[in-house]
């Protein structure tokens, strides 16, 4: 663990750390915001998963989340979106390879050596954070777009691990949309049945934990109809009786202007669950 950035922020400290990941077999970076309350004792942790093309920098510099984390005494952890490095498999497209890990565990060469982002986010990174910072056992998870997909899937696949989950503009049915189909056939191979374990709408019916889902979706989002399909999540939750609060926000697009507008609501949502 090496700290490579540190900035005073709302009475706390916004930091970026680098470490070698045994899960991903490469060096990784993550942002961590330590609220002022962290100087007095342990705090709960909210994990944020970013979307396609992002690094750990997008959320920590654009979302304005630190203000709300400081108010509620929550540590924010924002990892990179994929393994990176000259020896890590990549693709010319923005929606595959480095910057596009999709938070799944790849099973097909050449991706399987490094692209184990689900295990990194759910297991290795929290263990590292818990070992180096004063944290409680309470965790929450959230994300945007590809990261919203990752957050929903992580919560649904790991009952009891998170107190709460939310998402902005998530890819809710990746096995049914172009972004997800391209990634899944590359990372997982052609067996569509194997894809279902990484698809939130497919996981909902068998979920053993009815963790309420908070989802914000901008109605002016250019990707909503073709890639995000909130209607499919709404239908899956309705059919299974899974609690969902889907908030359609008029005039908002897919950008961080949208996230910054409602991130305070999401952090308050997580704070209520983390401190219950």
Residue 19 CA to residue 66 CA, distance in Å, equals: 23
Could you tell me what percentage of the chain is helix, strand and coil, using 3-state DSSP and rounding each to the nearest 5?
40, 25, 35
DSSP 191: -
Q: Is 132 a catalytic residue?
A: no
Q: Is 90 a catalytic residue?
A: no
Residue 28, classified by CB atoms within 10 Å of its CB into exposed (0-12), middle (13-18) or buried (19+), is buried
What is the CA 163 to chain-centroid distance, rounded?
Answer: 15
Q: Is 186 a catalytic residue?
A: no
**Among 106, 111, 103, 114, which residue's Cα sits nearest to residue 154?**
103
Active-site residue, from 72, 118, 254, 269: 254
Active-site residue, from 50, 82, 145, 186: 145
Active-site residue, from 80, 199, 216, 221: 221
Starting from the edge strand earliest in sequence, which strands make up the sheet with 12-21, in order? 2-9, 12-21, 26-34, 75-79, 43-49, 135-143, 164-168, 213-218, 244-249
Which residues are part of the catalytic machinery? 145, 221, 254
């Amino acid at each position: 663990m090496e700290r490579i950035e540190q900035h005073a922020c709302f009475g706390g400290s916004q930091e970026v750390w680098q470490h070698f990941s045994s899960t991903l077999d490469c060096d990784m970076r993550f942002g961590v915001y330590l609220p002022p309350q962290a100087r007095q004792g342990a705090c709960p942790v909210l994990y944020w998963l970013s979307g396609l093309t992002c690094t750990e920098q997008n959320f920590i510099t654009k979302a304005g989340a630190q203000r709300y984390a400081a108010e509620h005494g929550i540590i924010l952890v924002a990892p990179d979106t994929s393994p990176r490095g000259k020896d890590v498999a990549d693709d010319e497209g923005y929606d595959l390879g480095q910057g596009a890990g999709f938070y799944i565990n790849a099973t097909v060469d050449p991706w399987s050596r490094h692209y184990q982002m689900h295990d990194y986010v759910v297991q290795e990174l929290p263990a590292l954070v818990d070992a180096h910072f004063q944290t409680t056992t309470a965790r929450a998870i959230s994300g945007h777009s590809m990261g919203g997909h990752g957050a929903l899937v992580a919560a649904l696949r790991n009952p009891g691990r998170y107190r709460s989950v939310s998402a902005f503009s998530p890819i809710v049915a990746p096995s049914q949309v172009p972004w997800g189909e391209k990634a899944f056939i590359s990372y997982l191979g052609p067996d569509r049945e194997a894809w279902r374990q990484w698809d939130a709408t497919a996981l909902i019916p068998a979920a053993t934990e009815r963790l309420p889902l908070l989802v914000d979706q901008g109605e002016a989002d250019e990707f909503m109809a073709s890639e995000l399909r909130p209607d499919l999540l709404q239908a899956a939750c309705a059919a299974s009786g899974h609690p969902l609060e889907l908030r359609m926000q008029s005039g908002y697009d897919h950008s961080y202007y949208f996230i910054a507008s409602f991130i305070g609501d999401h952090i308050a949502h997580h704070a209520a669950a983390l401190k219950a």
